[in-house]
Structure formats: structure tokens, C-alpha cells
Amino acid sequence: KLNILLSGISNLLCYKISLSFKVNCSKPDQPSLLAALSPVFDLMAIRPVMNQTTHTTITMYFTLYGILGVVCSVHFAYYYHHSFLFLQWWTSEFSRWDPVQCGTNNISIPKEKIWLPDIVINEFMEENKAPSIPYMYLFSDGRVHEALPLRVVSSCNLDIYAFPFDIQNCSLTFNSYIYYAIELKIILGRDAELMTVFSKDVMTTMGEWTLVDITAQKIEINDKSGLYPDMLAFYIRVQRRSIMYVVTLLLPSCFLITLDLFSFLLPPESTDRSSFKMTIIFGYTVFLLMMNDLLPITGNTIPLINVFFSLCLVLMVASLLETIFITNILINSSDFSPVPRWIRILVLNVLGCLVCMPRRREKPEGSGTEAAVAKAIRREVEQQHKGKQSSEEWIQVGLIIDRLLFGLYIVFISVSFITIIILWINSCSQ
């Protein structure tokens, strides 16, 4: 409603002014138009309105050409926009002419000849590094067109929790520094969806980031006086290309964990298995040191991927500890006292059945003289090697515990990996 009212007023004013303020060309060519416009150039210091109470409307949009990358510092996460074409236009009440009389509908003039709005982007952290464009267009109806390429660094709060599957939402807020909303209004010149489409079309740098979408939002401030800067905000959502991180960070970790898992097939009674696991841990530590540069510098949130790495390391260390424990039982079994009764019942019977390693039963007694002879020999052997039996029981206990912990290890790995994957998918889809 307010918009309609305002445009009605400005149309009225345009009409009034156009009667008195149309430059007259002596001939229908460019030089005479320029000569006719030269009094207007003397007015470049002031906003091009006859009456101070008329507001100037800046219509603007931009096309995003590429995103170079992200640089982090301790407090800010900096965010690079690369080649960013910014277009804006407004109406000057001073420079109007009759296209028939002057022979042209538009003319390009140097930028310093005419008033320019002081639109800034709040998030910009550095000067524009793109080449400057010296000209702009004037149209016969008073429209002024300005286009400028921007290549700048702007700040953006990165949320790296889901790294490397993160989507960042970075804002660009356009506003004037000295003009209030009653004097200067900023409106969107092109549908934000169209801006997204055009930006996606021209994005040339195939860097780490891909554009998801651009949305625009007019920031409304409930202040009737209008003594605040008018603001137009854009939200640019970009997604990190995660494939590189998956290949260089996640897959090797998964392979090492798998290797660690399969090392349970090595015989625990020799020291092979523990030294093998030790080598894996050593290799993984070196891998993490080398890949440290790829990880983002963390602020107050810990990225999920760091948790994932610690989890992998913890699993490897835990499996090494387990192997040390089992190897100790198996190698020193002959020095141990006989297996206590509760361990025999709990481990050999209950857990043994649980992990499908049932206790070996005594062979059933035979019949006849051969059986009697066999029995005699057997008793002899049993008495001679009383200790050996307890050692074998200890070995059996060790093997059962080994297999049980192996099962728990698999369950723990599966549960924690599935949890992390679910967390990643959740934060991705947000």
C-alpha cells in the first residue's frame, strides 16, 4: 500500500518537473546532448531531486560469478566472493531529454560527472579488487544505470559442525551510510530465483563451493520517522564440495579401521597381532598429522569430523589394549593358578555358548579291555600333566574373551559410525 502511494507521488512530481526540467538539444546528436547536459553535471554534488522530501529509489541486483574460498582467522571466518557483478539504477530528475529532439535514448558518461549513491555492503572486509568501470548510462527518462564488478572478501559466520558436508548461509546487506530511508530506498531489481539461475549459469570457478541459492529479504524496521538506513539483505547459501574430503580423509580412516578389525584374525598368542595394531595406530597418527591442514580452524564448536577421528583412534587403542590383555593370558597361562570356579562357569559355559565356542567335553568312556587299557593310560597322563589342563582352560578363557570383545568391538564401531552418519545427514538436510 505504502509503495503504491509513494510511486503515485513520485510520478506526479516527475510530471511537474519534466515540464520545467527537460534539457534541450540544439541538434539530434551526441555532442549537442552532452552540451545540453553540462549544466546538470554541475549539480553532481546533490541528490538528483528538486524537492528534498522526494526519495530516490535505488533498484539493484547482482550476479555471483564465483567463490574463491574461505580463509579463517581466530574470530572471523572470512568468505571470498570472486567477480561479483553488481547493477543498480535510479532516477535523476535533472537529466531528462526528448529522445526525438536529441536523437538518442541513452548516453554513456564518466561516473564522476554525476551523483552516485553511497551504497555499501556491510559484510565487506576489504576493498574492491576488481578493475573499476569508468562509465555509466543515462537514459532520456532520467534513469541512471550503473554496473560494477566487485571482487571482495566479506565476513561470514561459518558453521563448521557438519564439515565437510556443510552448507553455509552468508548474508550480504546493502545499505546507504548517510542517507536515511526517507531519502533513499533500496529495492530488488530482479527476482532472487532469477538471480540464482543467472549466477549458476555464469559461475566459472569450479572451486570448493557450489551455489545452492540466493534469497533476498527487505529488512523492515518499524519506525514511522524513517530516520534509519534502508536495508536490503541477500542470503547466499553455498555448499562445500565434500568429495575431496571424503576421499582424502574419511575413506582412509575407514580403511584403517577395517584393517584393525581384520587384524583380529591374526593369532593372539604370538605378538604378531599387537605389533600389527601398533603399526596401524602409528600410521593413523602420521596420517592425521599430514591431513591436519585440510581441517577447518575451529572456533567454539567442534566439527563432527574431529569426533570421528578421535573415535577411530580410540577404537584402535582400545583394540590394542584388548590384544595386550589376551596375549598376556594366553602366553602366561601355564604360570597361573587353576581357573577359579566362577570364571569356569561364567566364561567357559555361559560366554562360551554365547560366542559359539562351547567347552570341550570329556570323551565318553569306552568299553571292553581296550577301553580299560586306554583309561589306565589316560589316568597316568592326566596325573602327569595336571597343570597342563588348567593352562588349556586359561587359553580357552582367553580365546572366548577375545572373541567376545571382538563382537563388542564390531557392535561399537557399527553403532558409532551409524550415529555419526545420521548426524551428518541431519545437519546436511537442515
Ligand X SMILES: *[C@@H]1O[C@H](CO)[C@@H](O)[C@H](O)[C@H]1NC(C)=O
Interface residue list for ligand X (CB under 6 A): 22-24, 51, 53, 169, 171, 215, 235, 237
Q: CA 72 → CA 79, 160, 306, distances in Å?
A: 8, 11, 17
Residue number with CB closer to ligand X (155 or 333): 155
CB of 87 to ligand X, least distance (A): 23
CB of 216 to ligand X, least distance (A): 11
Cβ–Cβ under 8 Å, residues 249 and 288: no
State in angstroms the smallest separation of the CB of 270 from ligand X. Answer: 57
Please report how close the Cβ of residue 53 comes to ligand X at its closest, in angstroms: 4
Shortest gap between Cβ of 13 and ligand X (angstroms)?
Answer: 8
8 A C-beta contact, residue 21 and residue 94: yes
Measured from the CB atom, the residue of 39 and 267 that comes closer to ligand X is: 39
CB of 348 to ligand X, least distance (A): 60
Nearer to ligand X, 14 or 148 (CB): 14
Q: Which is nearer to ligand X, 233 or 331 (by Cβ)? A: 233
Q: In the complex with ligand X, which residue's Cβ is closer, 43 or 404?
A: 43
Choose between 170 and 320: whose C-beta lies nearer to ligand X: 170
In the complex with ligand X, the residue whose CB is nearer, 236 or 397, is 236
- Least Å from the CB of residue 159 to ligand X: 10
Contact 272, 217 (CB under 8 A): no
